[in-house]
Chain A
Amino acid sequence: MSVNGARIMDTAQKIDDKTPRNETPASQSEGEQAMDNTTRYPDQTVGNPFVDNAKMRMRDVDVFYGEKQAIHGVSLDIGKNEVVALIGPSGCGKSTFLRCLNRMNDTIDICQVKGNLHLEDQDLYDPKLDVVELRARVGMVFQKPNPFPKSIYDNVAYGPRIHGLANKKYDLDEIVETSLQKAGLWNEVKDRLHSPGTGLSGGQQQRLCIARTIAVSPEVVLMDEPCSALDPIATAKIEELIAELSESYTIAIVTHSMQQAARVSNRTAYFHLGRLVEMNDTETVFTKPEHDLTEAYITGRFG
C-alpha cells in the first residue's frame, strides 16, 4: 500500500519494543506491508487533550498489571457535559484507562495506578476517599448487559436504596420512573416493572443498565463498549440516548466502532499500545488526523 502506511507500522513496532509483544499481534501482521520507517512516536500526545472547563483531569497516568505496564503517561481532560470517545485497537489500554476513572481496577489485586486523577477537586486515588462515594459520582455501564437477576424495578432502585437516596416508597417510585424515562425504557416496561430484568431483550437490558446507573444521579457516566453485544437497531437507540444524556451528564465511552465515536462524541482520544497518541475534536480526528497512526487506524489499515 502507500509509503505513508508503511512508516506507521514501523512506528508501531518501535513502540512495541518497549512493551510486551503479546499485544495485538494480528493487527500488526495485517499492516506489516503497509508501513515504513520515518514517523516517530510522539513524546507528547498530539492534538488537544486539555479543555478549560474540565470535569475530570488526568495527568501522567501509568497503570501496571504486576510487572507489565499497560498505560504509559496518559494525560487528558474530560470536559463538563461532553462526550469523550476512547478508540484504539484491542489491548491498547482504553478500557483499562476508563476503569481507572471510577477505580474499578481496585478489584484486580495486581493492578497499580500511578499519576494524578481528579474529579473536579477530588483526588480519585486519595487514600481517604471511599470508593463507594466515588462510584456514586462516577457511574459505569459495562460491555455486556448485566442486569441483576431481580425485577426491573429492583434493578433501578438498587443504587438509590444502598445509598439511601430515597427514604419513602413514592420517592423511590419517582426515581425509578424518571430514570427509566431518561433511559427511554419507561414506555416499554411500565406495565411489567416487577418482572425480571433478565427477561428483557439485549438492547432493553443495556438501557435498563443505563437507567440503573443514572438512578444514582452520577456526575460522570463511563461506558465500556456499551453496544458491542447489541444489534444495529438497539445500538442506534443507545446512541440516541447518549446524545440526550450528554445534556445532563459527562460521558466517557470506549468503543470499537469508529462510526459510533464519530456519531456520539464531542472529542475523541486515540490510544495505541498504552499511549494516548492523539486527542482532538471528533471532527478533526476523523477528517484531518494529525498523527499517522490515527490516520492508519481510522482508515482501517490496521486495528
Chain B
Amino acid sequence: MSKTTEQVRKSLAKRYRAEKMFKAYGIAAIGFGLLALVLLFTDIIGKGHSAFFESYVQMEITFDRDTLDIMDINDDEELNFANYDGLIRDALRAKFPGIEGRQEKRELYGLVSTGAGYELRDMLMEDRKLLGKTVTLWLLADDDVDVFVKAGSDDRLESRLSENQKTWIETFEAEGKLELQWNKSLFTHGDSREPELAGIWGAVMGSLFTMIVTLLLSFPIGVAAAIYLEEFAPKNKFTDFIEVNINNLAAVPSIIFGLLGLAVIIGLFGMPRSVPLVGGVVLTLMTLPTIIISSRAAIKAVPPSIRQAAMGLGASNMQVVLHHVLPLALPGMLTGAIIGMAQALGETAPLLMIGMVAFIVDVPGGPLDPSTVLPVQIYLWADSPEQSFVALTSAAIMVLLTFLIAMNTLAVFLRKRLERRW
C-alpha cells in the first residue's frame, strides 16, 4: 500500500466521522424544533378544543303575554324591550319549585346565560304566533355552568358554584337536558364580558380590513420600490444609503412603528383611533422592508440572459421589466408579500399603540369602524379573569394559527404553480 493511500484511508475515517457528527447535530436540531412544535400544538389544542362547544340546557318556555308585559304584538319597540328574562326565570322556578329567598333565586337564575333572553326575543320577532305558546328550547348556559360541565369529577369539587347550583346542574344532566353544542357565538359575535357570548368574529373582520389596507398599500409600493432600485436606479452613494436603510428598517422593533403611527398618523393627520385603516398603514411601514427585500431578490434571480435577449431585440428598459422580468419575478414577489402579510397578521405591539386594543363589542363593517385584530383579541382574553377565557384564548390562537398556516400554504402553492423554468 502506497503512502498516499494509507494517508487517504486514515483521513477518510476522520472525514466520515465528521460527516456523521454533523448529520447527528442536524437531526437533533430538527428533532428539537419538531418537539417544540408538538408541545405547542398539544398544549394549545388541549386547552382550546373545549371552547368550540358550549353547554346548553333544555327547558319549557312559555311565551306568556303577562310576564312579557306586551300590549300590542305588532309593536316592534315594545317587543324589543319586553321582559324575556322573566320567561326564563318562570321556567326555572317551574322546574325547581320551592325555591325561596333572594340568594337562592339569584343562584337559580344564574344557571342560564344573560344572552339567552336575546335569543328568545329574536325567536318571537321572527314568529309572532309564538305568543302564548309553550315550546321546548335549548338555552345557552352560563359560563360557570359550562366550566363545571366540562370539568372532570375531581375538578367539579373545586368549582365556584354553590352546592344548590351543582345539584340543579346534575338534575339537568340526569334528565339528559344538558348537552354540549357547537359554539356558534365564537364565530359570529364580537368580544363580550360574558365568555359564553364572546366571539372572535369582530377580531377576524378587524384583521381582514387591516390586512386589506396593508396589502393594498405595501404590495404596490414595495414592488415599485424594488423594481426601481434593481432596474433603474443608478448605483451610487445615495442608492447604497437607501439600501442600507431598507435593511435596517426590517430590523426596527415593531412597537416603534406603532409610536410613529400614533404621533404622525393619528396626532398629525388627525385620523381616528382604533381603526383598521390606521392599523393597516402602520403595518404597511412594518411590512414594506420584507416585501422590498424579497422582491429585489426575486428580480435578481431572473437570469440576465433573458434581459439581454429582450434588449438585443430592441426592447426598452420598461418593456424588458414589464414583459420579462416582472412575470418571472412575480412568484417570488408574491411569496414575499404573503410572508410579510402573515407577519403583519400576527403583529400586536404597534396596534396597541394606536388604540386597537380597546374593548369593542360590535363587529366592524369597514376599515373606519373601531375594531381589534386577532392577536390583540388573544392578548385581551389572556388577560381576563374568567376561567372560560382560558379555553377561548387557546381557541383564538388556533384560529389565528389556521389563518397563518393557510397563508403560508398559499405562498408555497403560488410559488410552485407560477414558477417558470428556463
Chain A residues close to B by CB (< 8 Å): 102, 104, 107, 109, 131-136, 139-142, 144, 146-149, 158-159, 162-163, 198, 209, 212-213, 216
Contact = CB atoms under 8 A, between A and B. Distances in A.
A159 B328 contact: no
B314 A133 contact: yes
B311 interface: yes
Nearest to B234: A109
Nearest to B315: A162
12 contacts: A104-B308, A131-B314, A132-B315, A135-B312, A136-B314, A140-B308, A142-B309, A146-B306, A146-B308, A148-B310, A149-B421, A158-B313
A198 B314 contact: no
Given A149-B420, A162-B319, A142 B312 contact: yes
Contacts of A109: 234-235
B313 A198 contact: no
Given A107-B308, A109-B235, A162-B323, 5 more contacts: A139-B312, A148-B309, A148-B310, A158-B323, A162-B319
Interface residues of chain B: helix, strand, loop or mixed (majority): helix
B305 interface: yes
A104 B312 contact: yes
Contacts of A102: 312
B320 to A, nearest CB: 10
Across chains A and B, which 3 residue pairs bring their CB atoms closest together, nearest first?
A: A146-B305, A135-B314, A140-B312
Contacts, number: 68
Interface residues of chain A: helix, strand, loop or mixed (majority): helix
B316 interface: yes
B422 A198 contact: yes
B272 to A, nearest CB: 48
A140 B305 CA distance: 12
Given A104-B308, A209-B309, A149 B422 contact: yes
Nearest to A146: B305
B324 interface: yes
A1 B70 CA distance: 122
Contact of A163 (B305, B310, B314, B422): B314
Contacts of A131: 314
B314 A149 contact: no
A213 B315 CA distance: 12
Contacts of A147: 309, 422
B330 to A, nearest CB: 12
A159 to B, nearest CB: 4
B174 to A, nearest CB: 71
A159 B312 CA distance: 10
A104 B313 CA distance: 11
B314 A216 contact: yes
B309 A104 contact: no
Contacts of A140: 308, 312
Contacts of A135: 311-314
A142 B308 contact: yes
B387 to A, nearest CB: 59
Contacts of B234: 109
A186 B166 CA distance: 88
Contacts of A148: 306, 309-310, 324
Interface string B390-412: 00000000000000000000000
